Amino acid sequence: MTPLQVDVLHKFRDLEIKHLVIGGQAMRAR
């Protein structure tokens, strides 16, 4: 993942924004 992608995920976590990873990255997740 890019630093910007990690930053967005961290911000979502800090702000407690409920979300789901979809698309191609969801297919890569282990």
Partner 1 sequence: MDRQTRDLDLWIPYDPITVAGMARFAQQMGQDPQAHPLDHAGLRLTVGELPHPDVEILNFVAGDPDFDACFNRAQHLALDGEPVVAISAEDLLAIKQACAAIMDQDAVNLADPEKRAASVNTALKERRDIALLERFLAERKRD
List interacting residues with partner 1 (CB under 8 A): 1-2, 4-6, 8-9, 11-12, 15-30
CB of 14 to partner 1, least distance (A): 9
Q: Residue written as tokens 């911000």? A: 11
What does the buried/exposed string (b/e) look like for 3-17 if buried means 16 or more CB atoms within 10 Å of the residue's CB? eeeeeeeeeeeeeee
Q: Please, what is the minimum distance in Å from the beta carbon of residue 20 to partner 1?
A: 5
- By three-state DSSP, how is residue 14 classified? helix
Query: How far apart are CB 3 and partner 1 at their closest, in Å?
Result: 9
